[in-house]
Amino acid sequence: MTDAKIRLFVDCPLGAGQGVALSEGQANYLFAVMRLPLGAGVLVFNGTDGEWLATVAEGGKRTGRLVCLDPARPQVMPPDLWLLFAPVKKERTQFIVEKAVELGAARLCPVQTRFTNAERLRVDKARAHAIEAAEQCGATFVPPVEEVQPLDRLLSGWPEGRRILWADESLITTRQTLAALTPGPWAVLIGPEGGFSVEERDRLRAHPAVVPVSLGPRILRAETAAIAALTLWQSTLGDWT
Amino acid sequence: MTDAKIRLFVDCPLGAGQGVALSEGQANYLFAVMRLPLGAGVLVFNGTDGEWLATVAEGGKRTGRLVCLDPARPQVMPPDLWLLFAPVKKERTQFIVEKAVELGAARLCPVQTRFTNAERLRVDKARAHAIEAAEQCGATFVPPVEEVQPLDRLLSGWPEGRRILWADESLITTRQTLAALTPGPWAVLIGPEGGFSVEERDRLRAHPAVVPVSLGPRILRAETAAIAALTLWQSTLGDWT
């Protein structure tokens, strides 16, 4: 049982002796695909109560129940960092979501920009990908994925005190900008493949929360920029100490 | 012609008036797929002579010839940074190659470790992916992809003076390590999905060229670790100034 390799995100409270009802998909995966027997160990987490070792109490092809035994890992919350990103093509958007979970973003906010086709993002699928990424990378937290919002509206109602590290392709400094960052709530903003429009760039430059940063002299694809910017923030102000 | 959007890597010298024979694949792409007419503009680069605006002089479905007109962008060489990586699953290895080109690695060295199946890497395909990535990201340099080498042999014959930034999952410092790095020839080393073996870790820790660094408290997949480590090096010692 200590060999439990399967990790599942579950939507219920966790604690010693707590029963965990499985969804149809989870029951199918555990009992039809992985063929776990009664008494087998499974790791579960719900995003708030840490990771628990649970054991199979009932299992069928469509239903099943686990019971929590022992705490396996404490709850670890990511730093207060949001990722604002313009959805790109399906596979690469999936990648952005997966990587943001691995790299420890606390919230994912898809934004519609002038050169974004927001139809591209299925928020329900993005949420499922975030859960899957957390299950696979050992995270105990799953960042919420917000509904797509137009960039304009997001900037107009931007919360006071939260700054935005903007991966600005026209800017040339990286080190100086990073050295000057100060702790607090932050977001990282990544543009769409076609870049931001002239109006959007002007608006971003004039916004008091926005801090532009360069990601080097080469053109990065959106998902590379997302990973690079999250990495720079985490290693400067975040939990990569 | 100034709207030339297509960028091609070509394997011949470039200069004003220089003719460029196209490969069958390139001719097919330009004339059968993209249906470029005679006189249309194409951007070409060869990894050493910068980017040139060329024009279609002859075009058929299987052959074709361009002629260089004007220099479009100067040759930009990446910093002296190698990426040593253990091949993972096909798609994700492709991703590592693509991202290493975007992020400015100068050489890609696939390594066989205890937990790597080196059969996974087709070096010819990896080279093609490196070219494709350079064509797409606007780079004028294509990093060579070496043949797969066992980690042991690589470490035994390691060139004096080149250090290795090793993404060590057991280590906990990021900032302190980065702050202490000094310029010079470097490589970044990323392990396979299953991590390094105990013997490999001992060997790496004892090697005089190796500098371990943490990539934060969460488990990163191999391709995420590659992007994150290249980003940290570039923003500390490289051309992300």
Contacts of B115 by beta carbon, 8 Å cutoff, 6+ apart: B86, B191, B192, B193, B194, B195, B196, B197
**Cα B154 from Cα B139, distance rounded (Å):** 28
Inter-chain CB pairs, A–B, below 8 Å: 104
Contacts of B75 by beta carbon, 8 Å cutoff, 6+ apart: B45, B48, B49, B50, B140, B141
Please state, for a pLDDT cut of 70, what percent of chain B lies above it. Answer: 98
**In chain B, where does DSSP find H-type helix?**
24-27, 90-103, 123-137, 151-156, 175-180, 198-206, 222-236
Q: Find, among A82, A236, A215, the residue nearest to B174 by Cα.
A: A236
Q: What's the Rg (C-alpha) of chain B?
A: 20
pLDDT digits (tens, 9 = 90+) for A143-154: 999 999 999 999
Instruction: Give SS3 for B202.
Output: helix
Tokens 């596979």 belong to A91
Domains B7-73 and B81-236 share a fold: no
Residue A224 sits at the chain B interface (C-beta within 8 Å): yes
**Cα B130 from Cα B133, distance rounded (Å):** 5
Please state, for a pLDDT cut of 90, what percent of chain A lies above it. Answer: 85
> Strand B163-167 vs strand B186-190: parallel, antiparallel, or unpaired?
parallel
Q: Residue-wise over A95-118: b if at least 16 C-beta within 10 A, else e?
A: bbbbbbbbbbbbbbbbbbbbebee
pLDDT digits (tens, 9 = 90+) for B150-185: 999 999 999 999 999 999 988 779 999 999 999 999
pLDDT band at A1 (very low <50, low <70, confident <90, very high): very low
Is A218 close to B178, i.e. CB distance below 8 A? no
The answer to whether residue B3 scores a pLDDT higher than 80 is: no
Select the residue of A217, A232, A238 nearest B239 (Cβ to Cβ): A217
Residue boundaries of the structural domains of chain B = 7-73, 81-236
What's the pLDDT score for residue B118?
63
For A238, nearest residue in chain B (alpha carbons): B216
Select the residue of A102, A173, A219 nearest B138 (Cβ to Cβ): A219
Nearest-neighbour CA in chain A from B151: distance (Å): 25
Please state, for a pLDDT cut of 70, what percent of chain A lies above it. Answer: 98
Please state, for a pLDDT cut of 90, what percent of chain B lies above it. Answer: 84
Report residue A18 as tokens.
């707590």
pLDDT digits (tens, 9 = 90+) for B128-158: 999 999 999 899 999 999 999 999 999 999 9
The answer to whether residue B1 scores a pLDDT higher than 60 is: no
Q: Mean pLDDT, to the nearest integer, of A205-212? A: 96
The answer to whether residue B230 scores a pLDDT higher than 80 is: yes
Domain spanning A7-73: which CATH class is it, in words?
A: mainly beta
Select the residue of B102, B104, B218 nearest A102 (Cβ to Cβ): B218
Is A216 close to B232, i.e. CB distance below 8 A? no
Q: Mean pLDDT, to the nearest integer, of A88-104? A: 93
For A231, nearest residue in chain B (alpha carbons): B228
B74-78 CB contacts, 8 Å cutoff, 24+ apart:
B74/B50, B74/B140, B75/B45, B75/B48, B75/B49, B75/B50, B75/B140, B75/B141, B76/A217, B76/B139, B76/B140, B76/B141, B77/B106, B77/B141, B78/B104, B78/B105, B78/B106, B78/B141, B78/B143, B78/B238, B78/B239
Q: Mean pLDDT, to the nearest integer, of A12-40? A: 95
Q: Mean pLDDT, to the nearest integer, of A33-50? A: 96
CATH of the domain spanning B81-236: 3.40.1280.10
Longest pairwise C-alpha distance within chain A: 61
Q: What is the four-CA torsion angle of A205, A206, A210, A212, rounded to 10 degrees? A: 20
Q: Find, among A183, A112, A103, A116, the residue nearest to A143 by Cα.
A: A103
Chain A, residues 99-158, CB within 8 A of chain B, namely 99, 102-104, 136-139
**Cα A202 from Cα A196, distance rounded (Å):** 10
pLDDT band at A161 (very low <50, low <70, confident <90, very high): very high
**Cα A156 from Cα A176, distance rounded (Å):** 28
pLDDT band at B78 (very low <50, low <70, confident <90, very high): very high
Q: Which amino acid is at A209?
A: A
pLDDT band at A119 (very low <50, low <70, confident <90, very high): low
**In B7-111, where does DSSP find H-type helix?**
24-27, 90-103
Task: Kindly tell me the sign of the dihedral angle through the C-alpha atoms of B67, B70, B73, B77.
Answer: positive
Note the pTM of the prediction, 2 decimals: 0.93
Q: Find, among B12, B2, B9, B13, the residue nearest to B55 by Cα.
A: B2
